[in-house]
Structure 1
């Protein structure tokens, strides 16, 4: 999952993704999280990144709200418990590895699996250090609304999808059924899957998680059928119940050739990574980020506060921190 644009903010934060008012509000929310003033990551680094001898930390934040929840809580604790200044930088998943390697960011808190990048930077160059499990297992899949499944139970088998292609057709899908995806930058095998499974569908990119959520909510409001690329954990399941379509079972190596993929997505224990120098010299900040581990339910709790209830990331983090001291207190000390 997953522009090469960055946004930075200093410790001073504002309190408090595109076709509707709701999506615009979410877009504003993301801007509040990552700050104002876009800059190309290849030309400008955060003023705090890899700042030797100073209590500063720069966190990479991805564009989906679960990753934003991780960063919000980590940033809140770094600032309010440990006295660090925190900067966040929005950058796509692959460019984030390069930024982390070069010390332009100090940490990635939610990686969905990039073995090529891991081999290059962790194994070969040794400029990035693993920082352990996030505690959350991610899974990408194809989902349909549960209200449609109740009427057509066989739709949850991929072999029956062509039977329903006409019902999933939209103005954007060119006479075929629509498979709604988010950002083209996310990890997706969907075009290959549609082709290799001989499905009468067209992948249509909404452009972002927020735009995809807006479309899903609109479909649900009108009780229309839809087929969408989606993932867990994700707070939207609480608002729009969805059921996964069973694709051909995942087996190790079945997705090795991106052009020949014809299997489901794997379950992926989400990982954290630190800049290798920061991992060694980052002091209590590095310790906290290495120890940071929470459950799917905890991440969804904060994500719901941000995306659905409209709290600022800092306020959402503050609320969670206030009621979960037994969890986060253990992150502050070396194990």
Structure 2
């Protein structure tokens, strides 16, 4: 009888241990981490992936359009994303989360902000800025025009898959601007660099954390402050007939995952939950790739090599 009780106790004790205690990796399957069209998500994907590889996991990186990520995650085609921004993904993220097929893996310390941005030298040609109502003045709009858009102003938006409702915002607020989408964030910031050096007119999508708002003197346009009702209820705001008559939301940058993946790789998911970088660190890392021209893989490895005491605290479940 005593032996039977002893064996039962041992079995119960083993059942109470985390899955990782039986060995990491818990599954030989490949953890697919999302890549996208901006540098910081890819740098953080590499940092997370290289750390997981040190624990013995097999990792691959899968390019996914930002607008198409949710079906991919819900179907298990990709397992982890290191960045999901409230600024453009809040509603879609919450809808997908409600299906139970994805999981919220926690927020980074970094604070997300992105919206229309202009260099400070443009205030001479549009002195009412940063108030959005200044953009309704045809003279101000023309100051931001190009031969292709004149007399309308030109707004350089991000790649199409970023979303952001810029066309809807222009229509709802009655702005005499034409939205032009950049092909990549690299081309967008290359155009900013060229315009800034020539003091040429430019209005574009800038986001933070990023090196650009620290490097260049400028301001975000001050649109009506975002509320959830702005995107959902046309009666909200300055235009009673259209939604999106406000600025973009700001706030969290979350990590997200395929829900079923947490059962396959519980320790890996625990590492991602613990993972955290702040805005300054992310902006610095992006500058190393976008300005200094370093490879993303090398930037990630450099951070890992220089910050072992930090990331080892994230990996305790893997015996590190």
TM superposition score category, shorter chain reference:
0.7 to 0.9
Aligned to 2:75: 102
Aligned to 1:162: 136
Aligned to 2:281: 298
Q: In the TM superposition, what whole-angstrom CA distance separates every residue of 1:107-149 from its partner, at most 9, and x where no partner exists?
A: 111112445544554323x221211112222112111102334
Q: Is the 8 A contact 1:306 1:313 kept in 2?
A: yes
Equivalences for 1:1-335 in 2 at 5 Å? 53-54=27-28, 56-79=30-53, 81-113=54-86, 114-115=89-90, 117-124=92-99, 126-149=100-123, 153-163=127-137, 164-257=140-233, 259-334=242-317
Q: Is the 8 A contact 1:173 1:203 kept in 2?
A: no
**Secondary structure at the counterpart of residue 261 of structure 2:** helix
Q: Is the 8 A contact 2:141 2:151 kept in 1?
A: no
Q: CA separation of 1:143/1:121 partners in 2, compared to 1, >3 Å: closer, same or farther? A: closer
Post-superposition offset of 1:195:
1.8
Q: Is the 8 A contact 2:114 2:206 kept in 1?
A: yes
Task: Measure the CA separation in 2 of the matches of 1:296 and 1:115.
Answer: 19
Q: Which of the two has higher C-alpha Rg?
A: 2
Q: Is the 8 A contact 1:139 1:233 kept in 2?
A: yes
Q: In the TM superposition, what whole-angstrom CA distance separates every residue of 1:41-74 from its partner, at most 9, and x where no partner exists?
A: xxxxxxxxxx982163210112111111211211
Task: Measure the CA separation in 1 of the matches of 2:52 and 2:298.
Answer: 15
Q: Which moved more, 1:321-330 or 1:59-68?
A: 321-330
Q: Is the 8 A contact 1:138 1:269 kept in 2?
A: yes
Q: Is the 8 A contact 1:128 1:274 kept in 2?
A: yes
Q: Point out where structure 1 has 5 or more consecutive residues left out of the alignment.
A: 1-50
Give the alignment's TM-score, normalised by structure 2. Answer: 0.81
**Secondary structure at the counterpart of residue 251 of structure 2:** strand
C-alpha root-mean-square deviation of aligned residues, in Å?
Answer: 2.3
Aligned to 2:6: none
Q: CA separation of 1:192/1:57 partners in 2, compared to 1, >3 Å: closer, same or farther? A: same
Q: In the TM superposition, what whole-angstrom CA distance separates every residue of 1:280-322 from its partner, at most 9, and x where no partner exists?
A: 2214322211211110111112111111111111210121122
Q: Which runs of 4+ in 1 moved over 4 A?
A: 150-153
Q: CA separation of 1:248/1:115 partners in 2, compared to 1, >3 Å: closer, same or farther? A: closer
Q: CA separation of 1:130/1:117 partners in 2, compared to 1, >3 Å: closer, same or farther? A: same
Q: Point out where structure 2 has 5 or more consecutive residues left out of the alignment.
A: 1-24, 235-241
Q: CA separation of 1:127/1:252 partners in 2, compared to 1, >3 Å: closer, same or farther? A: closer
Post-superposition offset of 1:269:
0.2
Q: Is the 8 A contact 1:149 1:243 kept in 2?
A: no
**Secondary structure at the counterpart of residue 142 of structure 2:** helix
Q: How many residues align?
A: 283
